[in-house]
Structure formats: structure tokens, C-alpha cells
A and B are shown apart, each in its own frame.
Chain A
Amino acid sequence: MRWITTTNHKDIGTLYLWFSFIMFSVGGLMAVGIRMELFSPGLQVMDPDFFNQLTTMHGLIMVFGAIMPVFVGFANWQIPMMIGAPDMAFARLNNWSFWLLPFAATLLVLSFFMPGGAPGVGWTMYAPLTVQMGIGMDLTIFAVHILGMSSILGSINIITTILNMRAPGMTLMKMPLFVWTWLITAYLLVAAMPVLAGAVTMTLTDRHFGTSFFNAAGGGDPVLYQHVFWFFGHPEVYIIALPGFGVISQVIPAFSRKPLFGYASMVYATSAIAIISFIVWAHHMYTVGMPVTGQLFFMYATMLVAVPTGVKVFNWVATMWKGSLTFETPMLFACGFLFMFTLGGFTGLVLSLVPIDIQVHDTYYVVAHFHYVMVAGALFAAFAGIYFWIPKWTGHMYNETLGKIHFWLTLVFFNMIFFVQHFLGLAGMPRRIPDYPLMFETWNKISSLGAFGMGLAQLLFLYVVIDCIRKGAPAPQKPWEGADSLEWTHLPTPVPYHTFETPPVVK
């Protein structure tokens, strides 16, 4: 009962983190299924229809069920402690926004057992396929509605907390960067999620109420769906990435024992990324037959994103420059993030070029690109954050050796899966197809083996976390020498259930 009715931000943070780990495992199992089918050419494990359902659900679950909730979990735990507030602004609303999620997840998983199975349309849910799918599609649409509702409520809560409940003296430009990135992310969510809700609502009325938004026969246009979807979809990319940037901006200074280089420019760069993210959506759809002017506009706008992102990467590296570096697990994941995310950024720059994008559109090159930014970006940042803050949350240190092994296994297997997919994509292997010609076999075998290894490595992570909670050595108040935000300097370890009931004074 405590967990169902709780309004404590730390409890809810924990709920979010465990929920996202469960969904991460479910989505991961689906990925393993996909890689099993792609282990060798021909069809062996599943029929193509089920393969499509797996790729669709893997995407939806990982994006909405794993990555977004994990960062909301961080936000719940950390934001009140970092700004010196007693709790979130709307504690009961916070409870609701979490408990919407299990229902949405259940709907998604249930769709597998409907006649016709789960939607096999890809996580982007493009019309006209979505208009023709079975009842599983309706469940997915409602799940997306509920997920959207949950994120919007959560974001309103986060913005209100950050703007109204800071401790005396905690001016906006003194907030830890993690809080800044979440403030901007929450604004993106409030602006973008309703547009997705609109897009799936249109799909729903097209399916059942005789409208023709996307139905060519009734005067609609399937390409319109893509525009509406990606108007949400591109800000969504930064919704996923920005909180990760925030975590990295806490971890790197702590282990470099130096303040973050260029704090103000980091804040402005984050805002710039958020604003640009609303004018680049059509770079996902260069091949729909838009006028050259449109392609040029979206190409240049997309390249512009590289400027603020470059500022961020530069600042992280400059923070490490001449610092007293040590490489505990959080820092290892942060460095892994820095390398891998930058690589994913570079392939993104390659893909922003219209002529190249038309060539590799919908190939494994694209798959490799967005996994480099999502897995090596968001997921590595999430791991860095968990190892960084888990001593504070549980009061115990995790096993450093096992943590490091987890990092190296994840890094090696991740690259084994996705680095070779660049080659597959350039050679022309299309995504979302369960079969492939013989010439792609070697790289696919390597990629599949990597996927199995990556899956197993996450079991080690689960062990490390449980081991830390159960019998880790007691952690000091400030286990990381260079960490300097309020939760380390003002609060004991483990943090008490209620903190900052009288706000601290920040100088």
C-alpha cells in the first residue's frame, strides 16, 4: 500500500526507476528476438509478421517505457534535493503520473494477444498501415494517449517545482545543470507530446469514425501523418537526450574535481538545441517528394544543431582538461557517453545531407546512427547517473569492480552490435526486414552475438544494484570528492525520507 499511495518524491523516483528497468528488460528481450531472427539469412525463428510486431514494440517500449521514465525517475529523486525543495510541487499529481504508466504498459503488451497481433507498423506508426491494422492498433493508440498524459502531467509538475520552489539564494543561473536540462526538457514535453496525441487521435478517427485525415481515398494524405508525427518526433529526440546531457554535466565535473567549464554557455546551448528541434522535423522524410527548397531548408537547419551540441561536447572535454581525473564507474560511463554519443552525432551530420540520406534512407545505417545516440547517449548517461547517485539513495556503495566490468562489457558488446550495422547500411541492407541476402551474413552474425552479450551484461547490472542495496559497504556523505551540489553538501547518506523541510540558504 505504501508504494501505491505514496506522494514522496523519493518513493516515486524509485518506482519510476524500477518500472523503467522492467520495461528495459522487456524491450531488450524483444531486441534479442529480433537479432535471433537476423542471426542467419532466411526465416527460422518467427514469421515476418511477428518480426514486424517485435520491431514496433521494441521501439515504443524502449522510448516511452524505458528511457523517458528512467530520466523522470532521476528528476523525481534529484530535482527537489538539488534545488533545496521539500518535495515536488504537486505531490499527489506526481503519484498519478507514475501510476498511469503500468496501465499503458499493460495495454501495449496486451496488444500482442489481440486478433491480428500487436501493430507491426514501426514505432513511428505511419499511416496508411495504421489505418488498416487490427484491434491491437487501438490498444497501442490508447497506450500512447495515456503515456502522453503521464508525461505532460509530470512535466507541468517539474516546471512548477523548478520555477517556484527553489531555496532562497538558488537563482536560476546557480542551478545544477541537471536541473536546467530538465526544465528545458519539460517545456519540450509540454509542447510536443500533445501533438503526438493529436496525430494518434487522427489515426483513431480515421479508423473508426469515417474521417479521412490520412486516407488517400477520402482526400487525405498519408504524408501529412509523417509531418505531424515528426513535428513531435524530433523534439522527442532531445527530450530523450537532454536529461542525459544533464547527468553527464554533473558526473564529469565531479570526477575531474573542477567546476563545469562554460556553465552559462551550456545553459544557452541547451536552450538553442530545444528551439532548433522544432524546425528540423522533415529531415526524417527527405524521400517523401518534398520540393528542393524544403529539403535545403531542413538540411541547413539540421546542420545547425551541430553547433550547440558541439559547444556542449567542447565544454565537457574542457572540463576534463587538466583536471585531477579518476575513473570510477560513473566517470567511465560518462567517457563512454562522450565518445559514442559524439560518433552518433557525426553519423547524424552525415544523414542530414539530403543526397546521402536519400541513399541510406531506411537502411541499417540509420539504425546504427540512432542507437548510437539513444543507447550510447541516453542509456550510458542513465547508467552513469545510477552509479553516481546510488550511494546517496541507498546509503551503500556498489561493488566498484563489478561496476567496471559491467561498463566494459556494455561498451564492447554495444559496439559489436551497432558499429557493424554502419557497414550493413552502407551496403544497402534495409531495416525492418526479417530476411537478407547471403552477402550480409557475417556482419549480421557479429551484430547478433553482440546483442546476446549485451543482454547478459545487463543481468550483471541487476546483480550489482541488488547487491548494493542488500549488503553494500556503508557510503560516506560525499563519496565523490568533486561533487558539489546540495544533495552531497547538505544531506547525510542515506538521505532521510523527508529532506529540506526548512530550505537551506544558498550563497
Chain B
Amino acid sequence: MSVDKAEMRQENRRLSRRLAIVAVAMFGFGFALVPFYNQICAALGVNSIVEKSEPLNSQIDSTRTVTIELDSNTHDLPWRFRPLVSHLTVHPGELATVEYEVVNVRAAPVTGQAVPSYGPQHAGEYFKKLECFCFTQQTLAAGETRRMPVTFVVDPRLPRDVSTIAVSYTFFEVAGRGGKS
């Protein structure tokens, strides 16, 4: 390895350039994980709580009833948000519609996005939403009041031990649109 100094220097530079390229590529790889993650989630069907369900062709199971409890929250958002009924009883397989009311109390238009959660958590996959205000972002003008429907079917395959499903929606502000205060 008795190379002269200049040659060694050049060799060192070449190697360090290659390593720097690896580092930059890995920085890009971090961002490439984002679409990759979304693809994986879509392929495996996880993380799909705000997607529309296909209506299923099923019988109404009138031998059992399920209580749906409705809840609403807002997160850092100047909206009044509540369900018009606090709970209702449905048969699995039966189509039902409930309404939520939301009021923008701020003197400026605000855009929000609702995210549902379920208790018990695993009941979520049996709560099929055919129409929901959570599918899209909602923009409310200053002082606007809006009534929004949720149309759903409880899948008859719902485990027998679940007799009550709590459905809770939380509205988050979408920053950058409609202006953050």
C-alpha cells in the first residue's frame, strides 16, 4: 500500500463522495417510506376507518339489538359539535341514519376533519359507514350551522358479546386552509 500522498488523497475523496451519496439517498429513503407506508396499509386493509364501505347484501338479524351510543369532541377547534340523538338501538343489518350538528362560532371560515373512533375498538370493523361527514373535510363559513348525516349498517357478523358500540367523532382543524388563528 505504498501509494504516494496525492493518490491516497484522491482515493479518500472518491470514497467520501460515494458515502455522502449514500447518506443523501437514505435521507430520501425516509421520505419514500411515506407513500410506501400508505400502499402497505391499503394493501393490507389496515387503517381504513375513514373509507367508504360497500353496502352489503345481508339479512336483518332481528333476533338481537345493538345500542349505538353517539359521542362528539373537538380538538382545538372553535366549533360546537353534537349528535342530535345521544343513542339509538338498531338490529344488525338494518340501515340507519343519525345526524350531527356543528356550529362554527368563530368569525372566520374554518376547515375541519372528523376522525371516528370506536369502543370497543374491534367493533369498528363491523360498523359500516355508507355515508359520513368524516369522508371529506368540512369548511364552515363564519357562524354557519350545518347538519350532517351518518348512514350506517352494523355488520351481522358482529361478535355476539358486543351489545353496545360507542361511536365517537373528533373534529380536528385542518391547518393552513381557512386560516389558523
Contacts and interface: CB of A to CB of B under 8 A. Distances in A.
Contact of B12 (A89, A193, A195, A215): A89
A224 interface: yes
Contacts of B38: 221
Interface in B1-60: 1-2, 8, 11-12, 15-16, 19-20, 22-31, 33-34, 37-38, 41, 44, 46-47
B11 to A, nearest CB: 5
Nearest to A167: B1
Interface stretch (A26-34, A97-105, A156-164, A469-477): A156-164
A194 B26 contact: yes
Interface in B108-127: 112-113, 115
A221 to B, nearest CB: 7
Given A217-B172, A218-B175, A224-B34, A290 B26 contact: no
A50 interface: no
B26 A192 contact: yes
Contact of A228 (B1, B33, B44, B115): B33
Contacts of A160: 12, 15-16, 19
A160 B18 CA distance: 10
Contact of B26 (A159, A195, A213): A195
Contacts, number: 105
Contact of A194 (B12, B30, B47, B112): B30
B16 A215 contact: no
Interface residues of B, number: 35
- Greatest chain A CB density within 10 A among B1, B37, B174 is at B1
Contact of A191 (B26, B44, B46): B26
B173 interface: yes
Interface of A: 89-90, 152, 155-157, 159-160, 163-168, 190-199, 202, 210, 212-213, 215-219, 221, 223-224, 227-228, 231-232, 289-291, 293-294, 503
> A-B pairs with the 10 shortest C-beta distances?
A198-B30, A217-B172, A210-B176, A194-B27, A194-B26, A195-B30, A217-B113, A156-B19, A89-B12, A160-B15
Interface of B: 1-2, 8, 11-12, 15-16, 19-20, 22-31, 33-34, 37-38, 41, 44, 46-47, 112-113, 115, 172-176
Given A217-B175, A231-B30, 13 more contacts: A160-B19, A165-B12, A190-B22, A194-B24, A194-B27, A195-B26, A202-B30, A202-B31, A210-B176, A217-B115, A218-B175, A221-B47, A224-B34
